[in-house]
Amino acid sequence: MCSPCFCCDAMLGGLARWLRLAGFDTTLPASQSDRELEQVARAERRWLLTRDRALAAHAGPRVLCIQSLAVPEQVGEVCRRLRLRADPARFFTRCSRCNGRLAPLGREDAQGLVPPYVGTHVSDFSRCEGCGQVYWPGSHHGRIRARLVEYFLCESG
- The footprint of Zn ion (CB under 5 A) covers 95, 97-98, 100, 128, 130-131, 133
CB hemisphere CA count around 17 (13 angstroms)? 10
Q: Which is nearer to Zn ion, 17 or 46 (CB)?
A: 17
Instruction: Give the angle subtended at the CA of 49 by the CAs of 59 and 128, to the nearest 5°.
Output: 125
Kindly state the smallest distance separating residue 32's Cβ from Zn ion, in Å.
20
Kindly state the smallest distance separating residue 8's Cβ from Zn ion, in Å.
16
Q: Which is nearer to Zn ion, 63 or 114 (CB)?
A: 114
Kindly state the smallest distance separating residue 70's Cβ from Zn ion, in Å.
25
Closest to 10 measured CA to CA, from 65, 49, 53: 49
Kindly state the smallest distance separating residue 90's Cβ from Zn ion, in Å.
16
Q: Which is nearer to Zn ion, 81 or 97 (CB)?
A: 97
Closest to 86 measured CA to CA, from 157, 12, 147: 147
Alpha helices per DSSP H over 13-154? 13-21, 34-43, 53-58, 71-82, 107-110, 116-121, 141-153
Q: Which is nearer to Zn ion, 74 or 99 (CB)?
A: 99
Dist CA 19 CA 75 (whole Å): 8
